[in-house]
Amino acid sequence: MAKVGVVYKVMPDKPGKDALDEVVGRLREALSSIGVEIQDVQVEPVAFGLYSAKILIVVDEEDEDILNKVEELIPSVEGIGNVENVGMTRL
């Protein structure tokens, strides 16, 4: 069974690395509730104390509905200001 790696860029609604760390923690909990784990997180400075995180998740290619669930769930997590799908590849 093939896997798909998806990268999302997540921006918190508040500046500061602490705010981003809180958002990533909430996101980990929310995603685990639907059976998805974050494989990697890369924190990047944006400007004026604002940070973003590129988050890698890996899902089964066979489960067609899981990415829809993920894309509905991520923006609903408290503290997320913006989310963007920046990459997808078959592993």
Residue 44 exposure: Cα atoms within 13 Å on the Cβ side? 10
Please state the rounded mean pLDDT for residues 37-64.
93
Residue 61 pLDDT exceeds 90: no
Topology given in CATH for the domain delimited by 3-90: Alpha-Beta Plaits (3.30.70)
pLDDT range class, residue 87, cuts 50, 70, 90: very high
Residue 56 pLDDT exceeds 90: yes
Residue 1 pLDDT exceeds 80: no
Distance CA(38)–CA(29), nearest Å, equals 10
Query: Whole-model pTM?
Result: 0.92
